[in-house]
Amino acid sequence: MWLRCTSRRLLTPFNRALKHGRLNASSWSGKVAAVMPEAAGFQGVTDRATLQEFSHAHSDSFWAAMANHRLTWTSAYDTVQDCDLRRGKVKWFVGGKLNVSVNCLDRHVLTCPDRVALIWERDEPGAEVKVTYRELLEMTCRLGNLLRRRGVKKGDCVTIYISDALAERIRDANSSTVITVNQGVRGGKMIDLKKTVDAAVDTCPNVRQVFVAMRTETPVVMKDRDVAMEEYVFDYHDGDVFGCVADIGWITGHSYCVYGPLANGATTVLFESTPIYPDPGRYWETVQRLQINQFYGAPTAIRLLLKYGDQWVHKYDRSSLKTLGSVGEPINTEAWEWYHKVVGDGRCPIVDTWWQTETGGICIAPRPSDPDAEIVPGMAMRPFFGIKPVLVDNEGEELTSKSASGALCIAQPWPGMARTIHNNHQRFIETYCQPFPGYFFTGDGASRTEEGYYQITGRLDDVINVSGHRIGTAEIEDNHCSAVAESAVIGYTHDIKGQGVYAFVVLKKEADITEPELRQQLKDSVSKSIAKYASPDYIQIAQRLPKTRSGKIMRRVLRNVVERDLEGLGDLSTLDDPTAVQEIIQGHQALC
Ligand code: PRX
């Protein structure tokens, strides 16, 4: 990907169709029909809903049309797919070759070199840097040439340091080259990344060289294996701005800050900071300053900001916003309403997007087939093009009735899906293909309404079984109590009921309620909305919940604390703030 920086643009079937005047430019399905005239049924497709049906019924034709229309191929593929979910075999576009740089950069440099490709939203507000497509291609070429000069070849694995557990990952990938910056900057603090890299690389004899870019002025000790990289030249331009504020080390950052926006020639924001630095208005101040049009973030951040009150949002002009996205976990009703009414002034649709690292991109979202479709709060709703979700019962039978709930699987392969687990294909088969043979198993539970809308109920291993009643933790967490900003519910071993319900709650900053009142309110609310048996046995009030840097609550840590298995806490290196665990332990000891 790094080494190929040519600008040759291939004449795709889509371009050919355009050239020969066969394209009805106003109709998206017309574009698809134009590139796949042989696809039976495509010609008659005139609306997006029918196209969605077509994408399910004629998956190969659909994906072939997408691949031809959306991507530039270096060599054409021979076969659209060769997949067998029963055997964990996933091969797409067999024989074809394409280049990420060509697709994300080169082709856009030909048509719009000065469009802003990405906006680096630096830790310090007001110091953003804009990089055009031309500049980004130049930087990519420079980096590619540097790696090539230093002996990195096609097929070599290069590790870019953006997350924890570095040594393990370098060894796992058998990487010989590592790229890092001297220091990271987050929430006004400097983090010595180079030092961490040094310690990790000392235990990885295969690493030949470490490239070091200077993110801050602080000098670092350079070892023999280290290679200094140069600083870049930037430019500023106007343009449409896609603001995915996810951590770049999370798949959401990869797919929706980098590859997705760049492959589509969009201007993307790289948000480096935190939602509350220097104050809880940071997101909205950034929206105002960068004129962000689509804002995409995680419910955990929304709940955090909700705690601080509306004034931080009202302070800034958010009129540039058109769509608000949510990703990564179920968005509870209160957070959804706040996001919609306060952040979006009630005028921006909220798209609650469901997907996973393993799916590569969004699979269920409110509006793939109809821009004016109804949106139900807190529901991911409708399958994306080419994605065929099914619900399966414990015996592996597909639930065919309209309204149903069960294990969420995907019935046919799609190009963005994971193909294996690095160095452990057997584990891939066991985890995703064997639980429900013939289907890709997501590990999530979901329910489907009469209208065919999907609602994700959470990870299946987060289901609690109280006296024989199975309840998703998200169902209990979604109970409304105006004093609570966020909550996490887990099951714990109970002598009589099998499992009991233990709830952790974080209060809003302005909450004015006594502990007995709070407990009573929560118990009443759960009893009323679900049933008495679901009402929590314990309610622990916490300052914060243990979370990963991508905002996921680490429930296993909560379970360990409640089951008093502190020895088994395991790897905590992905925790955002390790002090949260100590607080949770102390709170638990005080309560029980
Ligand atoms: O349980 C689902 C939850 O997050 C899991 C995927 O986590 P990860 O691979 O870290 O995320 C990648 C980017 C999304 C899923 O199995 N999840 C994700 N989105 C939603 C969700 N749960 C409910 N609603 C969502 N919109």
> How remote is the CA of residue 260 from the centroid of ligand 1, in Å?
18
Predicted confidence at residue 27, as pLDDT, reads: 40
Q: Whose alpha carbon is nearest atom 24 of ligand 1?
A: 330
**CA–CA separation, 331 vs 468, rounded Å?**
27
**CA–CA separation, 590 vs 541, rounded Å?**
11
Q: Is the CB of 251 under 6 A from ligand 1?
A: yes
Q: Please state, as a whole number, how many other Cβ atoms lie within 10 Å of the Cβ of residue 32.
A: 24
Q: Please state, as a whole number, how many other Cβ atoms lie within 10 Å of the Cβ of residue 516.
A: 8
Query: Can you give 409-433 as a three-state secondary structure string?
Result: EECCCCCCCCCCCCCCHHHHHHHHH
ipTM of predicted assembly, 2 dp: 0.99
Q: Please state, as a whole number, how many other Cβ atoms lie within 10 Å of the Cβ of residue 547.
A: 21
Report whether 556 contacts 497 (CB < 8 A).
no
Q: Is the CB of 327 under 6 A from ligand 1?
A: yes
Report whether 105 contacts 268 (CB < 8 A).
no
How big is the CA angle at 370 (ends 401 and 301), to the nearest 5 degrees? 90
Q: Whose alpha carbon is nearest atom 26 of ligand 1?
A: 354
Find out whether the peptide bond into 261 is cis, omega within 30 degrees of 0.
no
Q: What is each CA distance from 25 to 22, 35, 49, in whole angstroms?
A: 9, 12, 18
Predicted confidence at residue 38, as pLDDT, reads: 42
Predicted confidence at residue 24, as pLDDT, reads: 33
Query: Amino acid identity of 66?
Result: M
Q: Please state, as a whole number, how many other Cβ atoms lie within 10 Å of the Cβ of residue 427.
A: 13
Query: Amino acid identity of 434?
Result: Q
Q: Is the CB of 91 under 6 A from ligand 1?
A: no
Q: Please state, as a whole number, how many other Cβ atoms lie within 10 Å of the Cβ of residue 155.
A: 5
Q: Is the CB of 354 under 6 A from ligand 1?
A: yes
Predicted confidence at residue 1, as pLDDT, reads: 27
**CA–CA separation, 173 vs 151, rounded Å?**
18
Report whether 324 contacts 318 (CB < 8 A).
no
Cα-only R_g, the chain: 25
Q: Is the CB of 444 under 6 A from ligand 1?
A: yes
**CA–CA separation, 143 vs 190, rounded Å?**
25
Please choose from 252, 259, 444 the residue to mutate so as to test ligand 1's pocket, defined by most ligand atoms within 8 A of CB.
Answer: 444
pTM comes to 0.71
Report whether 72 contacts 10 (CB < 8 A).
yes
Q: Is the CB of 35 under 6 A from ligand 1?
A: no
Predicted confidence at residue 20, as pLDDT, reads: 34
Q: Is the CB of 475 under 6 A from ligand 1?
A: no
- C-alpha neighbours within 13 Å on the C-beta side of residue 269: 29
Q: Is the CB of 243 under 6 A from ligand 1?
A: no
Please choose from 247, 355, 417 the residue to mutate so as to test ligand 1's pocket, defined by most ligand atoms within 8 A of CB.
Answer: 355
Q: Please state, as a whole number, how many other Cβ atoms lie within 10 Å of the Cβ of residue 154.
A: 9
Query: Can you give 232-290 as a three-state secondary structure string?
Result: CCCCCCCCCEEEECCCCCCHHHHHHHHHHHHHCCCEEEEECCCCCCCCCCHHHHHHHHH
**CA–CA separation, 581 vs 544, rounded Å?**
9
How big is the CA angle at 483 (ends 481 and 485), to the nearest 5 degrees? 90
Residue with tokens 């793939």: 368
User: 297: closest CA among 252, 363, 251, 262?
Assistant: 252
**CA–CA separation, 263 vs 305, rounded Å?**
32
Report whether 42 contacts 65 (CB < 8 A).
yes
Q: Which atom of ligand 1 is nearest to the CA of 443?
A: 16
Q: Whose alpha carbon is nearest atom 6 of ligand 1?
A: 356
Predicted confidence at residue 46, as pLDDT, reads: 58
Q: Is the CB of 255 under 6 A from ligand 1?
A: no
Give per-10-residue mean pLDDT for the chain (592 aa): 28 32 36 44 61 84 90 96 94 96 95 94 91 92 83 88 79 88 87 90 89 80 76 38 88 90 88 94 97 91 91 96 89 91 92 93 78 76 86 93 95 93 93 95 94 89 84 83 91 90 93 92 92 94 90 90 90 85 95 88
Q: Please state, as a whole number, how many other Cβ atoms lie within 10 Å of the Cβ of residue 393.
A: 13
Q: Is the CB of 118 under 6 A from ligand 1?
A: no
**CA–CA separation, 102 vs 107, rounded Å?**
6
> How remote is the CA of residue 15 from the centroid of ligand 1, in Å?
36
Bridge partners (DSSP) of residue 130 are 119
> How remote is the CA of residue 149 from the centroid of ligand 1, in Å?
40
Q: At what angle do helices 28-35 and 59-70 cross, to 10 degrees?
A: 100
Structure tokens at 276: 């509350």
User: 326: closest CA among 279, 366, 278?
Assistant: 366
Query: Amino acid identity of 355?
Result: W
Q: Is the CB of 330 under 6 A from ligand 1?
A: yes
Question: Which H or E run includes 390?
Answer: strand 389-392
> How remote is the CA of residue 360 from the centroid of ligand 1, in Å?
11
Q: Which atom of ligand 1 is nearest to the CA of 331?
A: 24
How big is the CA angle at 125 (ends 268 and 319), to the nearest 5 degrees? 60
